[in-house]
Structure formats: C-alpha cells, structure tokens
Amino acid sequence: MKEVGALCDECKKGDSGSIRLVLLFLALSCVGLLVLFIHKVDTNITSADRAALQSMFDKGDYTISDLSDTGLFEEQVKAIRAVQDSVLNASPTLKKIPVKQEREPADLLEEGHGQCSDRARAIEKALLMLDYNVRYASLFSRDKTFIPPETMAIDSGNDLRSHAVVEVETEKGWLIVDTNTRWISLTSSGQPVSLAELHDRAGNTSYNWDSGNKGEIYWLMKRPFSYVYGLYSRHGMFYPPYTPYIPDINYKQFIFDNITD
C-alpha cells in the first residue's frame, strides 16, 4: 500500500508540473499576442488622412468623386495614375522621413519629401479611401540569392536592398503602383502585370510597358527579388510605439495575402 501511495504522490507532482508548464505557455502566448497587437500597423482612414489627401488631390484639380472606383478599367487606370501623381507632387524630393516619427499622409504633405515607404503609405491610404482593394508590399533584392527567411532578418547584410510599392486590384487584375517614378505595371496592350507575375518572370521576360508611363520600372523589379505583403519595416522604427527589432506589420495583409498569393 505504501508503494501505491508513493506512486500517487509522484503522479500528483507530475500533474502539477504539467499544469505549471501549460499556464506558463498560455501566459507567454498572451504576452506575445499583446505585443503583436500593440505593434500592428492599421489601415484605417482618419479625418487627418482625408484632409491631407484631399489637399494633394486639389493641387492636381482632382476630386474624390472623380477618382472613386467606378469598376471600369480605363477609369480605374486614370484614377490610379492621378493618385500616384498627387502623392509624388506632394513629396518631390526623395528623402526619408526620420525614424521614430509619424509618416502618415499629413506628415508627408507637411514634410514635402519622402522615400518609397513613406509615399507607399500615402498611396495605399488614398486608394483605400477611394474604395479600392489595396496591399502594401516590401521588395528585397536577391542579387545575393537571399532566401525568404533571410529577407525577414533585421540585418541580412549590407547588400540587401529594398523598395516599397503598392498593389491595387483592378477589373483586369492586380496592378503595381511605383512610389519613386510615374510608372505602373500596365503593358502596351492594356494588361496589368501583378507582383506575383513580375516576380516569377523577373530577369527572364521583357515587357512593353504602356506609353502613359512617364517613368521607368524600378531597377530592383527587373531582376530576381523577394516580396512580402503587409511588412512596413523590419526594424520597427517607422510606426508607434517604435520598438527596435519588432517589425511594423499589418497582420491581415501579412497573413492572408502572403498565403493566398
């Protein structure tokens, strides 16, 4: 009987240890989820966004009603180009908004300059405000054959160069909107080229781009590259609370668009 009792005591100790491990796991999971929630980048359009974007449109004599999605491809292309033109006019100098500083459309307008990621944010919000389906994409050069896990690393080496673009859904499919020049991924035959298609054929296919483009395709997209939807920065210093090494991510895009693309 003593032996049976001893075994029962050991079982109780084992159960208690297992419960503690489960509770610890749950606590750590809750903390992790809380951290991720605090650091998420949302795409809600604020009143400040609307005012800033309307101001950008006004300078080009564009109105929101003229630019809103009509469902007609030709009109969509005109509106998308107008949005791109408005944002580039508002930030003619290619200069980054400093880290640990707001970089919403109103900030871009006030600063009068921005880099690809800053302009991408304004283009993204402008198109969302106009009722388009949009996703933000970070692109990474694969000149050194970086694999996807390496592109997500905080420091994958000095040779890892990047770019940010916006992809917008049209009646004919997804269309890339560049953030440095007046270029969109529309061919001379009037067909949009998605980021996935350009990625799969990068360096292997020459496209005849639409003559309406006043700029050239960014060099990085002419060669092999990786891309990640919903990733606004790998370092965490672009959006509040500005915590180093916790990436700025929109989790809806990051999870669903990267899986379904």
Q: Do 63 and 26 share a domain, yes or no?
A: no
Q: Do 234 and 163 share a domain, yes or no?
A: yes
Whether the full predicted model's pTM is greater than 0.75, yes or no, is yes
Q: Do 88 and 155 share a domain, yes or no?
A: yes
Which residues, 6 or more positions from 224, have their beta carbon under 8 angstroms from its beta carbon?
Answer: 142, 143, 145, 202, 203
Number of structural domains found in the chain: 2
Q: Do 177 and 88 share a domain, yes or no?
A: yes
Q: Do 16 and 80 share a domain, yes or no?
A: no
| CB of 56 closer than 8 Å to CB of 112 | no
At 26-52, the pLDDT tens digits run: 555 554 555 566 678 999 999 999 999
Q: Do 203 and 82 share a domain, yes or no?
A: yes
Confidence (pLDDT) at 142: 73
Q: Do 30 and 87 share a domain, yes or no?
A: no
Rounded Cα distance, 14 and 10, in Å: 6
Confidence (pLDDT) at 8: 54
Q: Do 212 and 147 share a domain, yes or no?
A: yes
Q: Do 219 and 202 share a domain, yes or no?
A: yes
Confidence (pLDDT) at 123: 98
Residues with pLDDT less than 70, the chain: 1-17, 20-38, 143-160, 203, 261
Rounded Cα distance, 118 and 105, in Å: 8
Q: Is the dihedral of CA 189, 191, 197, 202 positive or negative?
A: positive
Q: Do 34 and 89 share a domain, yes or no?
A: no
For 30, the domain range is 1-38
Q: Do 138 and 120 share a domain, yes or no?
A: yes
What is the CATH classification number for the domain harbouring 253? Answer: 3.10.620
Q: Do 98 and 219 share a domain, yes or no?
A: yes
Confidence (pLDDT) at 177: 98
At 103-113, the pLDDT tens digits run: 999 999 999 99
**Which parts of the chain fold into alpha helices (H)?**
2-38, 47-59, 64-67, 73-90, 105-111, 116-129, 148-151, 195-201, 251-252, 258-260
